Chain A
């Protein structure tokens, strides 16, 4: 079993650091976390996705990369404490080192992938990000891990996570809201709306958000949240 010794940068990286980090990785100090994980499945899958991409393929085709990566990536971190996984410096390190080519291929233009200074702010956010709702949901790998963490179940495995990642706009609208931190709420939203039209899920999620300003989501189970969503979607 090939293992990866996890490290993190000694400081949070900012967008201005990124070109240098990608061009000269050794310039930026890292520290070991004392944890080794098996990321061979995720690294193999990433390499396969990069190798298989057809020249001139539309960027929309790359969205399927997330669905393919969520399972091996999430499974690779089994047993790692939440405190370690919540540290964005770990994800910065993974995105700029071990999975650099995956992030470049999935999210960046060909031009930017060759001239790092040309990376746009949005592209830089795919490597970096703060530990905020927005920051995590944009980081190329953290978003996959936390999506798998919230939506995995013993019966369905990663099916629901793949459904969420299939609809990027729905994914962001669920996981960039605070109710998305409550597992039953995130599950109910993705289950109910993975096949719904955008106007339906947009207005329903706004309705749920509004409702939760007077209701306490922590005491609501998946069924109660689904009932609320049905009311808004009707």
Chain B
């Protein structure tokens, strides 16, 4: 299920198709569909935009009496929270449909990724309100899919299953690490999260750095690793979901893509990567992400945090294998007992 907006009047979603032609050939489309304008030598993004209107667009959104002299304008809107800016370039219907229109965005004024959208709006109030048609000036009648122009390189995202890991003597670290000096590990949240493993714990480095697949040391290694991995991903996911919830609270109307763009890139990377594990029934990643945002939107994240999250981590990392290997190695349970569940 994807989220959808319902309007109290007739609208045409994706009723406008903007076709961008960039003046600078260095501004190219990336694999994700966004325009790469991150070259710092580029002084501005300059584009000609041909606006292709859906058939019978005006007939659909305006009552018949207004179609001869349509009270509309076509806008190109640009918004970027990181730039703290929203702007619109406004064109008459004749200008917008008579040939390409021009868009110039100076690099000095825009940062990060800018969402550009074509929108058809009413310019005046409807004199005689008619059922099914927008009556108020500035009403949104039709719009295009969002084009993204990236004025900066996206920051590196940590893949969901990998993490920067460092060995550190907690006893020689800052006050916070010293407080954690008896713990096996600590998570550091900076520009990117980092897993710090405690060199002070006797044997930990020896065990966790061991190679091989058989014997006591690898079994203890795997079991310890699973314990650390489960706690680490629990913390990273809860922390990322909490930040997403804060953004959703402040901006309840936006779609999942916009909301994920509002949180730190590593957090959105983590959530995108784990969405399919959190919502395996969704089928594909986009639907899983939409469901995740919907659940965060709901008043309580209890189901997500208490049920789905530990299940997803266990499923993805197969954390039970650490225990099974350990119990076999030390003869606590035979392979048959492990398979059948012991006394049962």
Interface residue ranges, A against B (CB under 8 Å): 11-17, 19-20, 81-83, 86-87, 117, 130-134, 136, 146, 149, 176-178, 181-182, 209, 213-220, 224
Given contacts A178-B79, A219-B90, 12 further A-B contacts (CB under 8 A): A14-B191, A82-B109, A86-B82, A86-B111, A87-B111, A117-B175, A131-B81, A131-B112, A132-B262, A133-B250, A216-B75, A216-B121
On whether the beta carbons of A82 and B85 are closer than 8 Å, the reply is: yes
On whether the beta carbons of B5 and A213 are closer than 8 Å, the reply is: yes
CA distance A224 to B90 in the complex (A): 17
Residues of chain B in range 97-132 having any CB-CB distance to chain A below 8 Å: 107-112, 119, 121
Residues of A within 8 A of B79 (CB): 178, 181
Q: Which 5 residue pairs are nearest across A and B when measured between Cβ atoms?
A: A218-B88, A14-B190, A131-B82, A81-B108, A11-B191
User: Residue on A with the closest CB to B151?
Assistant: A83
Residues of A within 8 A of B247 (CB): 132, 134
Q: Which of B135-143, B160-168, B286-294 contacts A (4 or more CB under 8 A)?
A: B135-143
Contact with A along B243-254 (1 / 0, CB 8 A): 000110011011
CA distance A131 to B261 in the complex (A): 11
User: Residue on A with the closest CB to B76?
Assistant: A218
Sample of 7 A–B contacts (CB below 8 Å): A131-B82, A177-B250, A214-B8, A214-B140, A215-B138, A216-B139, A219-B90
User: Residue on B with the closest CB to A209?
Assistant: B253
CA distance A130 to B243 in the complex (A): 11
Q: How far is the CB of A45 from chain B (nearest CB, A)?
A: 24
Known: A19-B175, A216-B121. A178 touches B251 (CB 8 A): yes
CA distance A131 to B88 in the complex (A): 21
CA distance A217 to B112 in the complex (A): 22
Residues of chain B in range 204-254 having any CB-CB distance to chain A below 8 Å: 246-247, 250-251, 253-254
Q: How far is the CB of A77 from chain B (nearest CB, A)?
A: 13
User: Which of A15, A87, A176, A214 is most buried by chain B, counting CB atoms within 10 A of its CB?
Assistant: A214
User: Residue on B with the closest CB to A15?
Assistant: B189
On whether the beta carbons of A19 and B176 are closer than 8 Å, the reply is: yes
On whether the beta carbons of B190 and A17 are closer than 8 Å, the reply is: yes
Interface size on B, residues (CB 8 A): 47
Residues of A within 8 A of B112 (CB): 86, 131
Residues of chain B in range 129-187 having any CB-CB distance to chain A below 8 Å: 134, 136-140, 174-176
Q: How far is the CB of B244 from chain A (nearest CB, A)?
A: 11
On whether the beta carbons of A181 and B190 are closer than 8 Å, the reply is: no
Residues of B within 8 A of A217 (CB): 86, 138
Residue B59 at the A interface, CB < 8 A? no
User: Which of A17, A19, A130, A182 is most buried by chain B, counting CB atoms within 10 A of its CB?
Assistant: A130
Residues of A within 8 A of B8 (CB): 214
On whether the beta carbons of A220 and B138 are closer than 8 Å, the reply is: yes
Residue B50 at the A interface, CB < 8 A? no
User: Residue on B with the closest CB to A24?
Assistant: B174
On whether the beta carbons of B250 and A134 are closer than 8 Å, the reply is: yes
On whether the beta carbons of B191 and A13 are closer than 8 Å, the reply is: yes
User: Residue on B with the closest CB to A12?
Assistant: B191
On whether the beta carbons of B75 and A219 are closer than 8 Å, the reply is: yes
On whether the beta carbons of B84 and A181 are closer than 8 Å, the reply is: yes
CA distance A133 to B188 in the complex (A): 24
Residues of B within 8 A of A86 (CB): 82-84, 111-112
CA distance A15 to B264 in the complex (A): 13
Residues of B within 8 A of A220 (CB): 138
On whether the beta carbons of B139 and A218 are closer than 8 Å, the reply is: no
On whether the beta carbons of B108 and A13 are closer than 8 Å, the reply is: no
On whether the beta carbons of B84 and A14 are closer than 8 Å, the reply is: no
